[in-house]
Structure 1
Amino acid sequence: MDDLPPAIVLDILSRLGDSADLASCRVASKTFNSLSRDVRFINLHCSFDRYAKSRSPLTRSSITPFKEIFKTLTSELRIVESVSVGVDKPLHTVSYDDVEDENDDLYLTDVNFVNDWLPRVCDRLRSFSISDFWVQSCWRRSHVLSLVSSYCHSLIELQIRNAWLSVDSLSPMPKLSKLTLEYTRLDDEDLNKVNECFPSLHVLNLIGVGGLKEPKIHLLHLKSCQWTVSNAVYSVTIVAPNLVKLILKCVRPRALVIETPALADLHLSLDEASNFKVQEFVNLTNLHLESLDLHQLLCSLPFGKTIKNLKLGTKSAELTGVAKFGFEFLFHVFPNVTSLTLTPWAWSVLEMFLCPEDLEVRTQMKGLKEITAYLEIHDFEATLSFIFSILDNCSNLSDMKLFIHRDVVFHVTNTLISRCMIRCPSVRWRWGMWKEGTNDAWIPDAI
């Protein structure tokens, strides 16, 4: 390895995803040790095993503190462009009640810790990710966001997870284009400060951000947003004239205001909202809806004619009390859909409405070309009749992808496949299996 050109060795070292592996390579050869200092990233996460050993009376004296290892890494690299530091996912499940942890050995958004190393690497830093240990960070309000804004003037991407954040003394970061806050705590006025100090954001991800009551996003350059809102909000407002993609998951907001005229891709998931104020999206082509009552949600949304790709799902497997609606209503709302995806319970709602023999779909859905659906098959004849009704009324349908629940017996699955393919051989059939908590799988012999 020492005979390889330095550029190739550096490229090999730069491809190592974990800085712990990089540290191991340093002791392997003098060349590795020398060139490793030119690697421009740090990626170090504390494992559950390391955490457990650091707490055990038998092993903790032999474990180098995680913060010391990280600070040593930052001091040894000549130029740092990317930093990712945090705890591994298994540590996210550790409960404060179980540990009663008042230590700060893994309190990574501690400004004293960050201030020890950030000034040395901030000049060339482009990406910074910090995933704190919630047991130690949840009861300490951190000013790390303000510290980062004061040092990292060239930062483009910032991710902070599992922290209680303060925006006091937050400075503008006009170059920051991507921000992710996940399982953090903020107040409404804090989010307003984020809008003000990060005006150039193109991508914003707010996942499980608590403390908000009437949150508002107002970003003129935002293009992509993923926002999982807690159930303690009164209203949700998004004003973003250049937003193209939005994933919004709520529970029961009293009001929902979405002013995003350029939106092309929307994933909206909510139980219910009593007051909608939504502009008609003239560019919206991809729509994914999830709700406890899809019928009510569909009736509330003032758009549909532009939708080409539609996915529908319910947020509960319990269909009792769910308003039924059929294909005719669906295509009255979305007359130009070409691709339709139905989750198991959305399929069941449509199937239940269409099952009676005297019911016929009167709307010819000529535009629909592709269907992907997930079936449970509680009533074989009802499911088969529903599929046949779709085939009879969708004259240009060319692709059917049907996933059958893994618990359905083989004979029923095989019979359904056989009868469908015989009924309409011109359709390109693809068959698969699904089950909660597992990956979908195709049935090779049926493709």
Structure 2
Amino acid sequence: METLPEILVLEILSRVDDSAAVACCRAAWKTFNTLSPGLHSINLQWPLSSYIESRSRVSNASSSSQITSPLKTIFLNLLSNLIVVESVRIGVKNLPRDLLHVDVEDKANDLHLTDEDFIMEWLPRVSRSLKSLSISDFWAQSCHNLVELELKNAWISVDNLNQMLMVTSLTLESMRLTDKELTQLNQSFPNLQVLNLIDVRGLKLPKIYLRHLKTCHWTITDAPPFLNVIAPNLITLRIECKKPAAVRVEAPSLTHFRLSIPHADPLLVKRYGTIKTVWIEASLIYPLLAHFRYTDSLDHLTLDSLGLIKGPFGIFKFTLQNLFNIFPNMTSLCFRPRAWSAFEVRGSIFGIGMEGLKTFCGYLMIVNLSLTLSWVACVLDQCYNLVDVSLLIHRNVSSNVSKDFMRTCMLRWPKLNWRWGTWEEGKEDCWISDEDLMQMSSDMKPEFRCVKKQRS
């Protein structure tokens, strides 16, 4: 064998799947040891029986330091010997079906392979070249008390996944799941209170059915045709879809709902008697709002558009009265930038006065000063019990135009509490300080400072 070409020896060594066997080969033959740094993968599976036996031998020892579990040490030694690592598989094998009843009752973490300190000791070294990663933890040490789990940038199978009863918060981001309907996820994490599914792909007719869920954020890039959320204790729900989809929500405790979707057909929101806040971002806004008809509990409404094709309110003239017919007790209304632009295009100045609205916020472009002023007047004159008005002007609007617009508004409606700011797509909103606002009201200085940034 000493005459074998090195490339052939490396090929032989790379076909040995078990890294423990590779270590034996390195010890047995110098050539194997010399060429082993050329390997690109580690597969180290530690028998649970060996671990339990080692603990039994020292169960009567005075110090737990006599207990040795070389899995982590062997793994780190193997890793340090490789130049480029593309695949890592490390875990505990021969696990019993009922992992919760494994006869290990101490607080050891010898086989806690997702321990943060252990992970940070080796993962940064291989992150640039790593293509495949598999870690199988020992439940009795690592997952029994786990309450928060976050996984990103992976393709995982959840078949035969054991229940994780203690986990109350789960985040999956940039993932591909084999659980197309989320059936296994619902079963494996029955006590979730917080669920974040951010760009999770591979779904088909997914349904979230979690009794204890309180907060859910679901962002979908390749939207399946139908989304279903059933959660009796859900309070906050945010759904963002890049493609049209049918959405069904059954959440009697729902209080805050944000939906961003090109088109939802149909949108079915059942049993939402406590809803207080709604944020709708869509290509066609009004058809979605119609599904909330006669929602007496809603207090704050935010509208934004994903485009101006035919106008987000539909092909008919839109009035504020349309909104108050749906949400008769609404006290706060916000028109985000594209929604306000569409309101100027497809809205109607005529309408019946609304006395319930107390707070209004608008994001303005001011392409035509007189036109924008007329639409602001439409809102402020019809909602005659307004108290607080916040208007943000696009940063590209000249300071002279902004100054004239602000002066006109404050002179025409002097009893309102005014708040002014600037906005720009993709940047934080910038609000004018009270000091500069007072100066502006007296001498209309064109320059002012931005003192507070916020996202609406």
Cα-to-partner distance string for 1:151-191 (whole Å, 9 max, x where unaligned) = 41100101011111121341111110000000011133472
Q: Aligned-pair distance for 1:273?
A: 2.0
**Alpha-carbon displacement from aligned partner over 1:82-138 (angstroms, at most 9, x marks no partner):** xxxxxxxxxxxxxxxxxxxx9546x7xx442899xx94374997999999999867x
Give, in angstroms, the shift of residue 375 of structure 1: 0.5
Which segments of 5 or more consecutive residues in structure 1 lack a partner in the other structure? 1-66, 68-77, 79-101
Partner residue of 1:112? 90
Matched residue, 1:311:
302
SS of equivalent residue, structure 1 residue 120: coil
Q: Aligned equivalents of 2:270 and 2:175: distance in 1? A: 30
State the secondary structure of the residue aligned to 2:371: helix
1:166 aligned onto 2:166: no
Counterpart secondary structure, 2:90: helix
1:347 maps onto 2:340 in alignment: yes
SS at 1:366 equivalent: coil
**TM-superposed deviation, 1:367:** 1.3
- Do structure 1's residue 331 and structure 2's residue 309 form an aligned pair? no
Q: How does 1:192-341 map to 2 (within 5 A)?
A: 192-302=183-293, 304-316=295-307, 318-322=308-312, 323=314, 325-341=318-334
TM-score (structure 1 length as normaliser) = 0.68
Which structure 2 residues correspond to residues 47-86 of structure 1 after superposition, within 5 A? none
Secondary structure of 2:426's aligned partner: coil
Pick the structure with greater CA Rg.
2
Alpha-carbon distance, 1:321 to partner: 4.9
Structure 2: distance between partners of 1:129 and 1:243: 34
Partner of 2:430: 441
1:213–1:274 Cα change, 3 Å = same
Contact 1:374–1:405 (8 Å) recurs in 2: yes
Cα offset, 1:287, TM superposition:
0.7
Cα distance in 2 between the residues matched to 1:373 and 1:148: 54
- 1:360 alignment partner, one of 339, 342, 350: 350
Distance 1:187 1:172 in 2: 17
Closer, same or farther in 2 for the Cα pair 1:400/1:162, shift >3 Å? same
Distance 1:415 1:256 in 2: 45
The secondary structure found in structure 2 opposite 1:262 is coil
Judge conservation of contact 2:111–2:137 (CA < 8 Å) in 1: no
Asked if 2 retains the 8 angstrom alpha-carbon contact of 1:401 and 1:430, the reply is yes
1:407 is paired with a residue of what secondary structure? coil
Pairs within 5 Å for 1:176-191: 176-189=167-180, 191=182
2:201 and 2:222 in contact (8 A); partners too: no
Deviation at 1:415, TM superposition (A): 0.6
The count of aligned residue pairs is 335
Distance 1:282 1:134, change over 3 A: farther
Counterpart amino acid of residue 416 in structure 2: V
1:32 corresponds in structure 2 to none
Residue 34 of structure 2 corresponds to none
Q: Distance in 1 between matches of 2:294 and 2:168?
A: 30
d(CA) in 2 for partners of 1:167 and 1:333? 43
Instruction: Report how far residue 199 of structure 1 moved.
Output: 0.6
1:33-53 Cα deviation digits (max 9, x unpaired): xxxxxxxxxxxxxxxxxxxxx
What residue identity is the alignment partner of 1:420?
Answer: C
CA distance in 2, matches of 1:136, 1:205: 28
Does the Cα contact within 8 Å between 1:181 and 1:206 map onto a contact in 2? yes
* Alpha-carbon separation, structure 1, partners of 2:202 and 2:397: 44
* Percentage of identical aligned residues: 36
- The one-letter code matched in structure 1 to 2:90 is N
Between the aligned partners of 1:190 and 1:275, the Cα distance in structure 2 is 19
Provide the rounded CA distance (Å) in 2 between the counterparts of 1:244 and 1:232: 23
> Which of 432, 435, 444 is matched with 2:421 structurally?
432
1:300 CA displacement? 3.5
Say yes or no: does 1:375 pair with 2:364: yes
Q: CA RMSD in A?
A: 3.3
Amino acid at match of 1:411: N
Structure 2 unpaired stretches of 5+: 1-41, 43-64, 66-82, 94-107, 439-456
Describe the shift of the 1:167–1:405 C-alpha distance in structure 2 as closer, same or farther (beyond 3 A): same
Q: Evaluate the alpha carbon distance shift between residue 185 and residue 128 of structure 1 in structure 2; reply closer, same or farther with a 3 A threshold.
A: farther
Shift of 1:223: 0.4
Q: Judging changes above 3 Å, is the alpha-carbon distance between structure 1 residues 319 and 407 closer, same or farther for their aligned structure 2 residues?
A: farther
1:9-88 to 2 correspondence within 5 Å? none
Question: Following TM superposition, by how much is the alpha carbon of 1:274 offset from its aligned partner in structure 2, in angstroms?
Answer: 2.0
Paired residues of 2:302 and 2:333 also in contact (CA < 8 A):
yes
Deviation at 1:213, TM superposition (A): 1.6
The CA distance in 1 between the partners of 2:181 and 2:206, in whole Å, is: 10
In 2, the alpha carbon distance for the partners of 1:366 and 1:134 equals 60
